[in-house]
């Protein structure tokens, strides 16, 4: 069976994914001071960042239309999967669902499932890779959906904001607070919630310390990291991304060294307790054996005939009478 994976343009497709023919992009679009910028192969990142920095207004974004998703669903495959930016942050998820509904109303027969990534950026990339992995493993449609949904549940997304200009521009941060935060060089460490919203995990003064804080959170939350993929996305700063990679791997390694040492201590304590319990059990057993032995001896002794001494009181009386007569 053939399949297709649609990822909205908030996700980062690798060159290999683009060349596979399996992955397709549903593009979002941005607007800065009335200038429309599609997030497709024509996107000029440097120009976009320049426009955002120069503007006093917050950039606006719009999700792919249901009609665009419909177009992507129409293909010569048996199964279609769509991966969208968190439904709590964008309308892309609902748009993909509506596109599916409209497509099936027109007679579309392909099996379609829309995944709410509850993440963004490289989080969507990993979900797309997981779908491909499941398909290549020969899973049926329902198994793929179940496996990938479980995978999404285990995902965690973290990021550090370079500056708070966007938050100030869209009114989520007052001008005074933004000024204070910028003056103190405070960098917030952010993360995703299980529902797919954004929360502040920590903060620190300076980017270096903030990235170290983020690495600590990643290491703390990691479950079976040897089975996970660490994916790092960056905006024109590959050197910093490499620093973050090393930081996270170091923190995870330190955490597991500590846990290993703690496990050894726990095992030693458990061994001591087992030995103590054995000793106590041995003493109790010895006491029980002693008690049974004494009870048996006492019972045996009580059944033996005992010698009885008889005294002739008549002879005593005669002797006493003789003494009185004298």
Q: What pLDDT is attached to residue 170?
A: 62
The pTM (predicted TM-score) of the whole model is 0.77
Q: What six digits make up the tokens of 22?
A: 């399996």
Q: What six digits make up the tokens of 184?
A: 């103190």
Task: Report DSSP letters for 83-136, one per residue.
Answer: EES-TTT-SHHHHHHHHHHHHHHTT--SEEEEEE-SS-THHHHHHHHHHHHHHH
Residue 236, classified by CB atoms within 10 Å of its CB into exposed (0-12), middle (13-18) or buried (19+), is exposed
Q: Cα dist. 80→114, 222, 276, 301 in Å?
A: 9, 31, 62, 92
Residue that wins the pLDDT comparison between 192 and 183: 192
Residue 306's region, left for phi above 0, alpha for psi from -120 to 50, else beta, is beta
Banded model confidence at residue 167, pLDDT cuts 50, 70, 90? low
Of 125, 21, 115, the residue nearest 75 (C-alpha): 21
Residue that wins the pLDDT comparison between 16 and 291: 16
Of 108, 40, 35, the residue nearest 74 (C-alpha): 108
Task: Please calculate the CA angle 163-252-149 and round it to the nearest 5 degrees.
Answer: 80
Cβ–Cβ < 8 Å for 217, 251: no
Q: Look over the chain and give the mean of its residue pLDDT values, rounded to a whole number.
A: 85
Cβ–Cβ < 8 Å for 97, 105: no
Q: Cα dist. 149→83, 86, 116 in Å?
A: 11, 13, 9
Q: pLDDT, tens digit, for every residue of 12-66?
A: 899 999 999 999 999 999 999 999 999 998 999 889 989 988 988 888 889 999 9
Q: What pLDDT is attached to residue 289?
A: 64
Task: Report DSSP letters for 27-78, one per residue.
Answer: --EEEETTEEEE-STT--HHHHHHHHHH-SSPPEEEPPPHHHHHHHH-SS-S
Share of the chain above pLDDT 70, in %: 81
Share of the chain above pLDDT 90, in %: 56
Q: What six digits make up the tokens of 37?
A: 């910028």
Cβ–Cβ < 8 Å for 8, 121: no
CA dist 166 and 49 (Å) reads: 12
Instruction: Give the SS3 label for residue 297.
Output: helix
* Backbone φ and ψ of 88, nearest 5°: -85, -10
Q: pLDDT, tens digit, for every residue of 209-265?
A: 999 999 999 999 988 888 889 999 998 889 999 999 999 999 998 887 777 777 777
Q: What six digits make up the tokens of 246?
A: 């090393």
Cβ–Cβ < 8 Å for 150, 130: no
Q: Which domains does the chain carry?
A: 3-28+63-155 (3.40.50.10440), 159-251 (3.30.1180.10)
Beta-carbon contacts of residue 129 (< 8 Å; ≥ 6 apart): 17, 229
Q: What pLDDT is attached to residue 324?
A: 55
Residue that wins the pLDDT comparison between 19 and 326: 19
Q: What six digits make up the tokens of 166?
A: 């966007």
Q: Mean pLDDT across the stretch 98-106?
A: 94
Cβ–Cβ < 8 Å for 28, 120: no
């Amino acid at each position: 069976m053939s399949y297709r994976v649609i990822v909205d343009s908030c996700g980062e497709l690798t060159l290999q994914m683009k060349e596979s023919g399996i992955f397709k992009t549903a593009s979002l679009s941005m607007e800065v001071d009335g200038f429309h910028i599609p997030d497709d192969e024509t996107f000029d990142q440097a120009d976009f960042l320049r426009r955002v920095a120069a503007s006093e207004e917050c950039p606006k974004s719009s999700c792919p239309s249901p009609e665009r998703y419909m177009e992507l669903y129409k293909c010569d495959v048996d199964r279609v999967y769509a991966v969208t930016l968190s439904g709590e942050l964008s309308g892309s998820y609902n748009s993909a669902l509506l596109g599916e509904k409209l497509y099936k109303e027109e007679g579309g027969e392909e099996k379609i499932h829309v995944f709410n990534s509850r993440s963004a950026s490289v989080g969507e990339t990993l979900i797309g890779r997981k779908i491909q992995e499941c398909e290549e493993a020969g899973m049926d449609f329902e198994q793929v959906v179940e496996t990938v949904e479980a995978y999404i549940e285990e995902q965690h997304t973290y990021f550090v904001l370079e500056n708070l200009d966007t938050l100030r521009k869209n009114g989520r941060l007052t001008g005074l607070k933004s000024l204070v935060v910028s003056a103190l060089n405070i960098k917030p460490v952010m993360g995703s919630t299980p529902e797919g919203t954004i929360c502040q995990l920590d903060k620190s003064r300076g980017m270096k310390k903030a990235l170290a804080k983020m690495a600590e959170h990643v290491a703390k939350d990691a479950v079976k990291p040897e089975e996970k993929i660490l994916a790092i996305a960056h905006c024109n700063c590959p050197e910093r991304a490499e620093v973050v990679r090393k930081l996270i791997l170091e923190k995870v390694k330190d955490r597991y060294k500590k846990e290993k040492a703690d496990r050894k201590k726990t095992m030693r304590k458990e061994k001591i307790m087992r030995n103590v319990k054995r000793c106590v059990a041995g003493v109790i057993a010895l006491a029980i054996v002693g008690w049974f032995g004494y009870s048996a001896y006492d019972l045996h002794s009580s059944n033996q005939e005992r010698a009885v001494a008889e005294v002739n009181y008549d002879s005593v009386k005669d002797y006493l009478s003789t003494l009185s007569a004298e």
